[in-house]
Amino acid sequence: MDETVRYPVPAYLIETATERILIDTGLNPAAIADPAAHYGRPDLFAVIALEQEQSVADQLDLSTLTKVVLTHLHWDHVGALQLVPASVPVFIQRREWLAGHDDAAVQRNSFLPLDYADKGRELILIDGDHDLLGDGSIELLLTSGHTPGHQSIRIGELVLGADVAHFASGLDDHRFPLFADDHEQQKRSADRLREMRDAGSTVIPGHDPDILHPGPVTA
């Protein structure tokens, strides 16, 4: 705790001939200047400062999206969800969505419902692994542990691991953040992604500074 770590908060865009799919939304631009006040959580943001060069809305026209996939409900992944038009369907694991509306789970996981408590939105709740487009090209993988219904995304041989491991080394050494819904389950999810990596897939970790550079991230 005596060392400050600065890490990136990624969102990803998958484009096909007919789809524009946003994976996570990054930070809420309205929260950057004073997150403690914005969320009413000075406890949570006592040791965290936010920076943002461009919000996801500055980087692409959100009205052109066909789908949003949320890996999980942490505030650095759903922060800008309110900027996405309500007509764009949002894909999330059912157990994550339910946890995000359960007081005990919200507390345990430091969820901030302000970012996702949007009533009029089209939600597609997923149970387990899911073939997103029905052609095998993009698969949602249930990789819980970090949060109750965390999911990763496989695009061909590329896997967006999200917060199964913040750093690439976490798949091997199981050094995770102190906070988690279930560290034992997180280890099993890390082992699953490690097996995919060892079989030839490229696994992108959640917040490793090396994700800012193109190409595989190695431990």
The nearer residue to Zn ion, 76 or 88, going by C-beta atoms, is 76
Which residue minimizes CB distance to Zn ion?
Answer: 74
CA 38 vs CA 33, 42, 82, 197, 201: distances in Å? 9, 9, 14, 39, 39
**Interface segment toward Zn ion; rule CB under 5 A; list 28-36, 53-61, 127-135, 159-167:** 159-167
C-beta of residue 124 within 8 angstroms of C-beta of residue 90: yes
The interface mask with Zn ion, positions 43-82, x = CB under 5 A, is: -------------------------------x--------
The nearer residue to Zn ion, 91 or 111, going by C-beta atoms, is 111
C-beta of residue 148 within 8 angstroms of C-beta of residue 181: yes
Q: How many CA atoms lie within 13 A of 77 on its CB side?
A: 24
Give the dihedral of Cα atoms 111, 116, 118, 119; nearest 10 deg.
Answer: -60
Question: Binding Zn ion by CB under 5 A: which of 24, 96, 115, 163?
Answer: 163
β-bridge pairing 158-162 and 12-15: unpaired
> Residue count at the site for Zn ion (CB under 5 A)?
2
Q: Is 24 in the site for Zn ion (CB under 5 A)?
A: no
Q: How many CB atoms lie within 10 A of CB 209?
A: 13
Among 104, 66, 106, which residue's Cα sits nearest to residue 87? 66
The nearer residue to Zn ion, 96 or 163, going by C-beta atoms, is 163
CB of 182 to Zn ion, least distance (A): 13
Over the range 146-172, which residues count as b (16 or more CB within 10 Å of their CB) and which as e? bbbbbbbbbbeeebbbbbbbbbbebbe
The nearer residue to Zn ion, 74 or 197, going by C-beta atoms, is 74
The residue to which tokens 């409900």 are assigned: 73
CB of 78 to Zn ion, least distance (A): 10
The nearer residue to Zn ion, 20 or 174, going by C-beta atoms, is 174
The nearer residue to Zn ion, 74 or 192, going by C-beta atoms, is 74
CB of 80 to Zn ion, least distance (A): 15
The interface mask with Zn ion, positions 138-157, x = CB under 5 A, is: --------------------
β-bridge pairing 151-155 and 158-162: antiparallel
Q: Is 181 in the site for Zn ion (CB under 5 A)?
A: no
Q: Which residues bind Zn ion (CB under 5 A)?
A: 74, 163
